[in-house]
Structure 1
Amino acid sequence: MATGLPRSVAERAPETTALPASVRGLTKSFDEHTVLNGLDLDIRPGQFVALLGPSGCGKSTLLRILADLDREIGGDVQVARRRAVAFQSPRLMPWKRVWRNVVLGLDGRPDRAKAIQALEEVGLGHRVDVWPKVLSGGEAQRASLARALVREPDLLLLDEPFSALDALTRIKVQNLVGELWQRHGCAILLVTHDVEEALLLADRVLVLRDGGIAHDQLVEHERPRDVSAPGFVAQRAELLSWLGVH
């Protein structure tokens, strides 16, 4: 595929590929500015990957491409057909009850039982029939996660889903995401600016810089993780160094 030609992400069913996402030579430009330049990336089944990098480096652009929300690209991108996205904003439709938001876009008639099951899993079983406007910020983000999980994705894409939450709620939702990942076993790509968050949740942390993956670091600490552990502190310092913070 020639660089810069309009195209869509190629979809593969799980049975035809071992990888939820495989990217080769990905290029993306906005006018004269190249954001992604020959990027290569593989995400393995069940792997939790966190993507770090300075603002404007292309983190969210990469996530949108994997979600097939940006099609003006060059290179080769293969993504499992079953994928779901949760953004920084929950993006709930205010004119639909919470349960209807969860199953919005699924094939067939709205499945209330399926929505209830997903909402109970994220701790919102008591909010099934309310309007989105009465939800707190943390509850709305949980509803967004339920909407993603109800699709039973092989790849879950999270674009800074905790950044708008207060500190306490953020910790609770982070813990919830970790629990859901271990329960469902899907691969996750988390875009974040928070080094500590990346190390707490992911088992692989990438640093995006100059249009490509500049650093690829495995995180092998046992869960639940202790931010004061010597190995954790050392990895945090290494990642901050790659991000230009010494």
Structure 2
Amino acid sequence: MATDVHRPVSPAATRAAKAVHVEGLTRSFDGRAVIDDLRLGIEPGEFVALLGASGCGKSTLLRVLAGLDRDIEGTVLVPRRRAVAFQAPRLMPWKKVWRNVLLGLPGRPERAVAERALDEVGLGHRGNTWPRTLSGGEAQRASLARALVREPDLLLLDEPFGALDALTRIKAQRLVGELWQRRGCAVLLVTHDVEEAVLLADRVLVMDGGRIAHEQRIDLDRPREITDPGFAGLRAALLERLGVRTGPEAS
């Protein structure tokens, strides 16, 4: 029988060792292990991207780290202050944008708290509007503001740019990179986009068979350019690891 050993720890205790420490994590559905004896460590302030084929357990792992899935075996240590942004912004249509940002916060936080977070993502002028009036990119930024207002030591991003058009996606990627550098929190980004992973992360992990099967450190200077030969080489190596051939031999 699976036991729940998901243990949030204080930011100070986590910072002394790892922002995330996972050991022997197993999560099964109907007797099938989607995550199987997984080990993972993330340093404080580190940006980690997680790649893998659909169904490999990426989003399940993120839900475990967020405390949304506790039917697990193994050890999971995470900061108490953590926040999640999903692919769908999940805004409540009957609440103004600024009220959406404050959803779930304890006590009665003032509107100014939401407005500061909205200013940080470039939406200060949209706080008093209804969610239905936002574009897709604006809605995703509102979702990011809702995560940031929690002052997280760990920010979990589950394919937050997946539904955006190409131009809006580029802008959103840049925004997340800037927010991470400003905030200094640890980030785990789940994505299918290899280019996005190399663009943003300090380290890229590839998940396969319910475990971390490959690790690639990204030692490129920031800001990064996709035209950089080093960028292209890392992208090609990760694609090959994922079973996608590039270059003339792929045709």
Please give the range of the TM-score, normalised by the shorter of the 2 chains: over 0.9
* TM-score, L = length of structure 2: 0.95
> Aligned residue for 2:167?
168
Note the C-alpha offset of 1:160: 0.1
> C-alpha offsets along residues 182-216 of structure 1, whole Å, 9 cap, x if unaligned?
00000000000000000001110000001111111
2:49 aligned partner, one-letter code = A
1:33-63: CA deviations, max 9, x gaps?
2111100000100000000000000000000
Aligned-partner Cα distance in 2 for 1:184–1:135: 25
SS in 1 for 2:180: helix
Q: Which amino acid aligns with 1:9?
A: H
Structure 1 runs (4+) greater than 2 angstroms displaced: none
Match of 1:80 in 2: 79
Query: Does the CA-based 8 Å contact 2:5-2:73 persist in structure 1?
Result: no
Report the AA paired with residue 15 of structure 1: A
Report the Cα offset of residue 8 of structure 1.
5.3
Does 2:13 match 1:16? yes
Name the CA distance, whole Å, in 1 between partners of 2:109 and 2:81: 19
Quote how far apart the aligned CAs of 1:17 are. Answer: 2.3
Amino acid paired to 1:139: E
Match of 1:120 in 2: 119
Alignment check: 8 A CA contact 1:205 1:218 kept? yes
> What is the aligned-residue identity percentage?
68
Secondary structure in structure 2 of the residue aligned to 1:90: coil
Count of residue correspondences: 243
In 1, Cα distance between the equivalents of 2:159 and 2:48? 13
2:248 aligned partner: none
Provide the aligned C-alpha RMSD in A. Answer: 0.9
Q: For residue 51 of structure 2, what is the amino acid of its counterpart?
A: L
8 Å contact 2:5–2:75 — kept in the other structure? no
Instruction: Report the Cα offset of residue 110 of structure 1.
Output: 3.2
1:53 aligned to 2:42? no
Counterparts of 1:110 and 1:61 in 2: how far apart (Å)?
A: 31
1:37 aligns with 2:36: yes
1:71 and 1:122 map into 2 onto residues whose CA distance is 31
Question: Does residue 4 of structure 2 align to residue 7 of structure 1?
Answer: yes
Q: Distance in 2 between matches of 1:130 and 1:110?
A: 19
Residue type at the aligned position of 2:122: G
- Give the 5 Å matches for 1:62-211: 62-211=61-210
Distance in 1 of aligned mates of 2:155 and 2:201: 13
- State how far apart, in whole Å, the 1-side matches of 2:51 and 2:238 are: 9
Post-superposition Cα deviations, 1:205-246, rounded to whole Å, max 9, x if no partner, equal 000001111111110111111112111111111101110112
**What CA distance in whole angstroms lies between the structure 2 residues aligned with 1:17 and 1:225?**
30
Is 129-138 or 8-17 further displaced after alignment?
Answer: 8-17
Shift of 1:32: 2.6
Tell me if the contact between 1:8 and 1:68 (Cα under 8 Å) persists in the aligned partners.
no
Residue 6 of structure 1 deviates from its aligned partner by 3.8
1:67–1:84 CA contact under 8 A, matched in 2 = yes
